[in-house]
Amino acid sequence: MIPLRSTRPGNRPLARREQISYPPGVKRSWPGFLLIVLAMVGCKSGPASSLASGAAPGGQPQSSAPAAQFDFYLLTLSWSPEFCHSHPTAAECAAHSTFVLHGLWPQNNDGTWPHNCSNAPGPANPSQYSDIFPDPSLLQHEWTTHGTCSGLSPDDYFSAARKAFQSVKIPPQLAGLTSQVSMSPGQIVSLFTAANSQTPSSALAVSCGGNYLTAVEECLDKNLNPIACGGVQSCRATSVRIPPP
């Protein structure tokens, strides 16, 4: 499973978990994801995130990948039921979760993003991150495509992703969902701000495909604090359908 980016007409480019996104008016009739070949691009060096420690959890020093110039992180939480409807045997679907971590991505205010910044190897022990990335191939993809642009070592990068993911409280109305509901993107954002008092609505965006919820995204500074999003907007649907786990 290699999630890549696609572009939805009338909306910002959807970043990276396009296997749960569908073109407007199409629901579950396309394959679960669109494979698009990304051109390899060089990344400019820039200041590394202050999250870097340079050491793996076991105490062994790790080399950090060169940092690309980027403005903020985009934390993307995918709505698992939408993806798992067409991929029921995927590793992350066994738990019947609601929101799952898709990734922590360096992003720019102008809507561009650095990717594939080096050939630095991923974490020496990927299994220690199985709680956030049960599929090793997704973990490797996230490191190669996004982590190598963070300026962090592999373990610092995935530890930061875990910290960011665990800091988000899922609204109880969605965490305990038992039947399909429909809400506007604004209502979904309001649920998240109510459950996360330190997160302003300007730090959040809702992604959807075919008027179905696919993800909620949060913009974070390089210390993982919520900030107003630059170049990131919610989908334009007036009502978004949310199927239960």
142 is catalytic: yes
Q: Would you call 96 a catalytic residue per the annotation? A: no
Contact 144, 153 (CB under 8 A): no
232's tokens: 């990131």
What is the C-alpha separation between 103 and 125, in angstroms, rounded? Answer: 18
Q: Which residue type does 172 have?
A: P
Which of these is catalytic: 102, 115, 217, 218? 102
Pairwise CA distance, residues 220 & 77, whole Å: 13
Catalytic residue, chosen from 18, 92, 142, 217, is 142
- From CA 165, how far away is CA 98, in angstroms rounded? 13
How far from the centroid of its chain's Cα atoms is residue 22's Cα?
17
Q: Which of 87, 115, 141, 146 is catalytic?
A: 146
Question: Contact at 8 Å (CB) between 237 and 208?
Answer: yes
**For this structure, is 141 an active site residue?**
no
Q: Which residues are catalytic?
A: 102, 142, 146
